[in-house]
Amino acid sequence: MLRNVSSECLEAGLESAYAAIFPSVKVMMAKRILKKLGNAPGAGRMPPEPRRKARSGKRIRIDRRMVNRVREIIEEWPGTRIDWVDVVAAANREFKAK
């Protein structure tokens, strides 16, 4: 991030038609910190984020029979509209899994 500084910040007697652009304080601080770290492997990288929690619920292997049953559920759907959420809910009820 850069900040725009007027020509008043320049040395006395030096004028410019363009505003001077200096790095922000945060950018300068980050550069100083990175210089101190050197070229060590991984220097300046953010630490890894915590891992996500494992999914809860029973997992099942989907076989051809299940695929055919889900197709039948969709084809026999009583309403005129069907959403993916509805299909998943119906399959969860049918196979007692998530």
Strand locations in the chain (E) = 2-5, 20-23
2 pLDDT band (50/70/90 cuts)? very low
Sign of torsion over alpha carbons 58, 52, 67, 74: positive
- What token pair was written down for 84? 């993916």
Q: What does the alpha-carbon distance between residue 93 and residue 80 come to, in Å, rounded to a whole number?
A: 21
Tallying the residues shown for the chain, one arrives at 98
- pLDDT tens sequence across 22-56: 778 888 888 887 777 777 666 666 666 677 776 66
How far apart CA 42 and CA 26 sit, in angstroms, is 21
Does the reported pTM lie above 0.85? no
